[in-house]
Amino acid sequence: MNKTAMITGASRGIGRAMAEAFAAAGYDLVLTCLQQIEELERLGRELEHTYAISCRCAAVDAGSYEETAALFAAIRRLDVLVNNAGIAYMGLLQDMAPEEWRRIIATHLDSCFYTSKQAIPLMLARGGGHILNISSVWGNVGASMEVAYSAAKGGVNAFTRALAKELAPSRIQVNAIACGVIDTDMNHCLSPEELEALRQEIPADRMGTPAEVAALALQLIQAPGYLTGQVITLDGGWY
């Protein structure tokens, strides 16, 4: 029987690349998105056909406990949880509405609590498992004009380290990837000039790719059990 991995925010970008990588590695999948369910279901069918795995797709607001609980109600086995769902916000903190702040925190940080809370009993029943959180370099160093996003990702990093200590005796590994500039739709709000300025700051002289994040994710899932509580930066030497 195949192992099962859940990946949130899987309709595009990093999440899509991870879905493809985990399917190629033989995992059955549970994939979620917020709005692009038709695109996600199309991906699911392609992965099932190509890799002979099963794939369940669902439109779920990762920042809603009720919606994540409804999803988990139908899940009986889970070996890997990848918390990837994310949204962007750029602007001055003084101009940010309270509901915009709440949305950023809910999507990035509350979602890790909601999914992990419900995944842990399933992993305990299996005698172990893996929780992988997709974070950002801004969670390490902070970013002007992205205070809420930075605060949320800083929380994800702390959440990762603390939960790893709590779950280590149960053989559930908890790690995070702090991504640098990855070439996804989330960065398309930046102008070509801004993207070029960013590229010039990165020692690797380019943005990262979703496939590179996916490859590292698989490596972490396959890593020795002693590797837990780590926030691993993938940024081309930027920070």
Query: Rounded to an integer, what distance in angstroms lies between the CA atom of residue 84 and that of residue 80?
Result: 12
What is the pLDDT, as a whole number, of residue 47? 98
Is 239 tagged catalytic? no
pLDDT along the chain (239 residues), means of 10: 96 97 98 96 98 98 98 97 96 98 98 98 98 98 97 98 98 98 83 89 96 98 97 96
Q: Looking at domain 4-234, which CATH architecture does it have?
A: 3-Layer(aba) Sandwich (3.40)
| Domain-wise residue ranges, the chain | 4-234
41: tokens are 């279901």
The pTM score is: 0.96
Catalytic residue among 51, 65, 149, 226: 149
Query: Rounded to an integer, what distance in angstroms lies between the CA atom of residue 120 and that of residue 124?
Result: 6
Query: Rounded to an integer, what distance in angstroms lies between the CA atom of residue 126 and that of residue 110?
Result: 25
What is the pLDDT, as a whole number, of residue 166? 98
Measuring CA to CA, how many Å separate 53 from each of 2, 30, 146?
A: 8, 11, 39
What is the pLDDT, as a whole number, of residue 188? 73
